[in-house]
Amino acid sequence: MRGKFIVLEGLDGAGLSTQSVLLENHLKLRGLKTMLTKEPTNGLLGGIIKASLKGEWKTSYKSLQLLFCADRAHHLENEIEPALVDGRIVISDRYLFSTLAYGYASNVNYKWLRYINLNFRLPDLAILLDVSADTSLSRISGGRSNLELFEHKENLSKVRQAYLHAAKEFHIKVVDANGSIADVEGKIDKIVDKFLSLR
């Protein structure tokens, strides 16, 4: 049986990495085969992207989003699709909706972003962990000393609005992620269990 592709999206500080791990553990306890992954990846292209986000080198926002797309294409072909064929539940910490949201917030043409990204397969289930820009910044600043490229309140507010727009367009489940880790985990588990028909 072919697997399912689940994506968690949201602002930095929304808890994507934490909740991705917790969701994988939740599904493993139910005997399901899983694969946990993220974007940008840990490959060569992902490393170039991360260096740009940290300000180690500069490029245009448009070329940055094209790098994200190239990384995504390689990610799909070499990791995600093989895992789905193997019957795994693939959980990705970020996917193409991040490109739509962060690209739009950096004034890259949304229709163009949408066009190039809809050449990729859509996830079977996408969940947006929604937090305010203030919550995002508070959590980010508490965890590390340096802010990355998009991590300023005005930018994050634009990204959040773009995410909410995408949620309506692509039927993404929206979870209020301002609460505790356990509270958010419970909400995600409930959505995923219903989607996978788990009791």
> Tokens 């949408």 identify what position?
114
Q: In Å, how far from its chain's centre is CA 49? A: 15
**What are the b/e assignments for 86-98, b being 16+ CB within 10 Å?**
eebbbbbbbbbbb
pLDDT tens readout for residues 6-46: 999 999 889 999 999 999 999 999 999 999 999 999 999 99
Q: How high is the pLDDT of residue 138?
A: 83
Set out the domains of the chain in order of their start, with CATH numbers: 4-195 (3.40.50.300)
Query: Using omega within 30 degrees of 0 as the cis cutoff, is the peptide bond preceding 40 cis?
Result: yes
pLDDT tens readout for residues 142-193: 554 454 445 567 788 999 999 999 999 999 999 999 999 999 999 999 999 9
SS3 129: strand
SS3 7: strand
pLDDT tens readout for residues 116-156: 999 999 999 999 999 998 888 888 775 544 544 455 677 88
This prediction has a pTM of: 0.92
